[in-house]
């Protein structure tokens, strides 16, 4: 898939998005991943709590914080 990104990304058969960041396979999320990914997009992965942002045409991990639990799920 060509999204004009410098970061190598792929989607699995389970519709999960992954990327190669710093020579490691990194989970980018499923529904959280922006389609199409564009400069300035940010997202928070529910399963891992990782925060990502696209700048300079690359995906960067910018942090990690727990994803808030929705009140109706607790």
Q: What is the pLDDT of residues 12-23, one digit of tens each?
A: 999 999 999 999
Name 40's Cβ contacts closer than 8 Å, sequence gap at least 6.
53, 54, 55
Higher local confidence (pLDDT), 15 or 2: 15
Q: Which residue has better confidence, 1 or 33?
A: 33
Task: Flag whether 42 is in a domain.
Answer: yes
Which residues in 24-50 are b (16+ Cβ under 10 Å) and which e?
eebebbeeebbeebeeeeebbbbeeeb
For residue 69, the model assigns a pLDDT of 80
pLDDT of residue 1 exceeding 60, the answer is no
Question: Which pTM value belongs to this model?
Answer: 0.86
State the residue range of the domain holding 53. 9-68
> Does residue 74 fall inside a structural domain?
no
Domain count along the chain: 1
14 found inside a domain: yes
1 belongs to a structural domain = no
């Amino acid at each position: 898939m060509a999204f004009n990104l410098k970061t190598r990304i792929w989607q699995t058969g389970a519709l999960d998005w992954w990327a190669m960041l710093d020579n490691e396979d990194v989970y980018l999320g499923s529904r959280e991943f922006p389609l199409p990914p564009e400069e300035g997009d940010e997202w928070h992965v529910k399963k891992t709590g990782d925060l990502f942002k696209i700048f300079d045409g690359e995906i960067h991990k910018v942090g990690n914080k727990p994803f808030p639990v929705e009140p109706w799920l607790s």
